[in-house]
Structure 1
Amino acid sequence: MGKVSKVKQTKAGTSSGSQALPFNTDKGQHILKNPGIVNAIIQKSAIKSTDTVLEVGPGTGNLTVKLLEQAKKVIACEIDPRMIAELNKRVMGTHLHNKLEIRPGDVMKADEWPYFDVSVANLPYQISSPFVFRLLLQRPLPRYAVLMFQKEFADRLTAKPGDKEYSRLSVNVQLLAKVEHLMKVKRTEFRPPPQVDSAVVRIEPKNPPPNICYPEWEGMLRLAFLRKNKTLSSIFHQKQIIELLKQNYEAIAKAQNKKIPADLDMKEHIENTLNESELGGKRARHMSIEDFLKLLLAFNKNGIHFHV
């Protein structure tokens, strides 16, 4: 997606402190100037009075205050000490103060995340993908997350087979969660305006999660999407991929004390597997999650693995 300087719009608003506070646009700090957008995010978040909410990048607290009014508790993770001071100042002496826990530092470097029911956040671009996957691996699973991303990233999250934006990210996230586009937020809704539009997405983890070996799944997808417009047969006929899968085949057979056929032709074995699955002529960009699950099952059944 390239380097885009903007993607995190701070949930700051029009409090008196935020007027004078200089924002660091290098860190993607932009203020939502339209309170209607904040209210719409709150409404779509459907927070319960018993919920603990995780917010990342609260800024000066426009969204945070609204969350505090709805939730039992808000855990706000903020990397900028100036924003922490502003947020503390904003709730100090109010009935909301005891419901707020501020965690300084980089949320992605934390060894463990605290327990939370729902996450509502306006994420920095550079952590969008790792945050989503860590969210989906969080245990216990949150009910859902309502997150604002750069529109291009949001489009990839929600893309369907055949869409231009459909990618490995789309498949990986949609395997683990139901993803729904909620609203578009134009760049003109922020001060200063960022370079790109944003979008709010709802991510609801599947609970229980799919019972598959995730490293296997991820390894297969990496190969399938190497050239997403080429057929699977074309991709899996590449010499380096055949050699990789042969090495995996031999390593796993050895670990399981299984004899490797002396006449093993890995290229032919892969081709036969693709024919059995009836997916050899498919292209990754047109394949559904069910297609990929069927493909992984066919490969594994024939001793072909993508992770050792």
Structure 2
Amino acid sequence: MTDLLGPAEIRELAARLGIAPTKRLGQNFVHDPNTVRRIVSAAALDPDDVVVEVGPGLGSLTLGLLPVSRHVHAVEIDPVLAGALADTAGHPGNLTVHRADALRVTAAELDPVPTALVANLPYNVAVPVVLTLLAELPTLRHGLVMVQKEVADRLVAGPGSKVYGVPSVKLAWYASARTAGRVPPSVFWPVPNVDSGLVAFTRREPPAAPRERVFAVVDAAFAQRRKTLRAALAGWAGGADRAGAMLEAAGVDPGARGESLTVDQFAAIALAAPVPSRAAE
């Protein structure tokens, strides 16, 4: 096994590649081997797991994942970093590097099929990457992602929480999620000005309703989160009266707010709508 990268190795490798971390790509490289070990342990990977890692960067986490999984698909948008990763890892047979945007990766590109997502995600695209990959890769059974602490709190929040919102509900559609720990800024280079959080998730059976239609209801409910559902969904449903009738048919109080509903209740609302609105098509 290749040794994990420490601060000196990270800076030497970056200098050799001419890499200066960019805020545009959300690049903050982990340089603490103990943090890598902690992430790998928390991911609870099976030896048969095939991992998707998004944004491997200089390879800190990749080196920790390779010995404990059957295969690692490393998806890296930066061409210099993507080109150097296999060499850093010692060209192992169980690593495939994809020079690609994770928001555009398709299941057909990943062979063997992935079963787990483990990644230190760039802060600026963390939520769309998680939701996009769960939608595109139905074989993903579980995962662990490191994101900005504020984002982690939103992803795992339940109904009634002040930070419960669109990311919380949409992740709950695909998976059950939980907090798996906090990560301090000091383990990154450059040092971010916020803490990070680990979010673990396990795939669940989604509600029996069209996903696009349910997500349209969720978006409408939280676009005006201070309003009652009857008012917030009026535009989507074709009027407040129609929204109220639809909510009552779904067994949901029209005077409630979106922040109090579970994903299953949002699904019930979507199913109660007699005709899909344009927003849900």
TM-score category by the smaller chain? 0.7 to 0.9
Q: Which whole-Å CA distance do the structure 1 matches of 2:145 and 2:202 have between them?
A: 11
The one-letter amino acid of 1:42's match is V
The structure-2 alpha-carbon separation of the partners of 1:167 and 1:144, relative to structure 1 and needing over 3 Å to count, comes to same
Contact 2:56 2:62 in 1 (8 A): yes
Tell me the secondary structure at the aligned position of residue 127 of structure 1: helix
Which one is further off, 179-188 or 268-277?
268-277
Q: Which whole-Å CA distance do the structure 1 matches of 2:10 and 2:245 have between them?
A: 67
The one-letter amino acid of 1:279's match is D
Residue in 2 aligned with 1:55? 53
- State how many pairs are aligned: 267
Residue in 1 aligned with 2:62? 64
Residue in 2 aligned with 1:19? 12
Q: Which whole-Å CA distance do the structure 1 matches of 2:88 and 2:181 have between them?
A: 28
Residue in 2 aligned with 1:165? 163
Q: Which whole-Å CA distance do the structure 1 matches of 2:8 and 2:115 have between them?
A: 28
Matches within 5 A, 1:1-308: 13-14=6-7, 16=9, 18-19=11-12, 21=14, 22-26=19-23, 27-92=25-90, 97-112=92-107, 113-114=109-110, 115-206=113-204, 208-236=205-233, 241=235, 245-246=237-238, 267-276=240-249, 277-297=251-271, 299-300=272-273, 303-306=274-277, 307-308=280-281
Structure 1 residue 121: Cα displacement: 0.8
Tell me the secondary structure at the aligned position of residue 98 of structure 1: coil
Tell me the secondary structure at the aligned position of residue 102 of structure 1: strand
Tell me the secondary structure at the aligned position of residue 169 of structure 1: helix
The structure-2 alpha-carbon separation of the partners of 1:187 and 1:38, relative to structure 1 and needing over 3 Å to count, comes to same
Q: Which whole-Å CA distance do the structure 1 matches of 2:79 and 2:246 have between them?
A: 56
Structure 1 residue 180: Cα displacement: 1.1
The one-letter amino acid of 2:276's match is H
Q: Which whole-Å CA distance do the structure 2 matches of 1:150 and 1:47 have between them?
A: 23
The structure-2 alpha-carbon separation of the partners of 1:12 and 1:284, relative to structure 1 and needing over 3 Å to count, comes to farther
The one-letter amino acid of 2:217's match is M
Tell me the secondary structure at the aligned position of residue 183 of structure 1: strand
1:28-57 CA-partner distances (Å, limit 9, x unpaired)? 222323221111111111222222211112
Q: Which whole-Å CA distance do the structure 1 matches of 2:243 and 2:27 have between them?
A: 50
The one-letter amino acid of 1:290's match is D
1:124-181 CA-partner distances (Å, limit 9, x unpaired)? 1232122112222134421111111111111111111121111122111112211111
Which segments of 5 or more consecutive residues in structure 1 lack a partner in the other structure?
1-10, 247-265
Which segments of 5 or more consecutive residues in structure 2 lack a partner in the other structure?
none
1:211-236 CA-partner distances (Å, limit 9, x unpaired)? 21112111212222222122123334
Contact 2:175 2:202 in 1 (8 A): yes
Q: Which whole-Å CA distance do the structure 2 matches of 1:198 and 1:173 have between them?
A: 18
Q: Which whole-Å CA distance do the structure 2 matches of 1:67 and 1:224 have between them?
A: 39
Contact 1:23 1:29 in 2 (8 A): no
Kindly, what percent of the aligned residue pairs are identical? Answer: 29
1:267-296 CA-partner distances (Å, limit 9, x unpaired)? 544433434535112111122233323333
Structure 1 residue 118: Cα displacement: 1.1
Aligned-residue RMSD, C-alpha: 2.4
